[in-house]
Structure 1
Amino acid sequence: MYRHIQALQHVSRRTLSSSARRQVENKVPQKQKHYQEDNGIPIHLKGGVSDAILYRTTMALTILGSAYVIYELVCAAFPKKKE
C-alpha cells in the first residue's frame, strides 16, 4: 500500500515539475479596448449575438416569473369558495 502511494507521489511530482507551460496570449488589453469603446452599444450587449440572446432570455424569464408570482398572490388572496 505504501509503495503505491509513493509511486503516485513520484508521478505527480514529476508531471508537475517537468510539464511545459503553454504560452497563452494575453487578450485582456484587446478586450478592454473593445468594451471601453464609445460606440453607443450598452456594455451588456457588446459581446455580440450571444450576449443579446442571453439578455433577452433573462428578461423574458424575469417577466414570466413576475407574472406567475402575481398570479399566485391573486389566487391566494381570493380563495375558491367551497360549496
Structure 2
Amino acid sequence: MYKQVMTLQQVSRRMLSTTANKQVINRVPQKQKLFQEDNGIPIHLKGGVTDAILYRATMGLTILGTGYVIYELVNAALPKKKD
C-alpha cells in the first residue's frame, strides 16, 4: 500500500512539473498597441471580423429575446377567451 502511494506521488509530481514543449509567443504588446490606437473604431469591434460577427449575433439574439418576452407578457396579460 505504501509503495503504491509513493508511486502515485511521483507520477503526480512528474505530471505537474513537466514543461511545455511548444514555446508561446507573447502577443500582448501587439494587442495593446491595436486596442489603444485612436482610430475611431469602438473598443468592442477592434478585434476584427470575429468581433463584429459576435457583436451582431449578440444584438440580434437580444432583440429577438426581448420581442419574445414582450409577446409572452402580452399573451399572459390578455389570455384567449374559451368559447
Q: Same fold (TM over 0.5)?
A: yes
**In 2, Cα distance between the equivalents of 1:65 and 1:4?**
56
Q: How much has 1:52 moved relative to structure 2?
A: 0.7
Q: How much has 1:23 moved relative to structure 2?
A: 4.3
Q: Which runs of 5+ in 1 are unaligned?
A: none
Sequence identity, in percent? 72
**In 2, Cα distance between the equivalents of 1:64 and 1:25?**
40
Secondary structure of the residue aligned to 1:13 is helix
RMSD over equivalenced CA pairs, Å: 1.8
TM-score (norm 2): 0.83
Establish whether residue 60 from structure 1 lines up as the match of residue 49 from structure 2: no
**In 1, Cα distance between the equivalents of 2:72 and 2:32?**
44
Establish whether residue 25 from structure 1 lines up as the match of residue 40 from structure 2: no
Over 3 Å counting, the alpha-carbon distance change for 1:73 and 1:20 in structure 2 is closer
Q: Which runs of 4+ in 1 moved over 4 A?
A: none
Instruction: Quote the residue 2:12 is aligned against.
Output: 12
TM-score (norm 1): 0.83
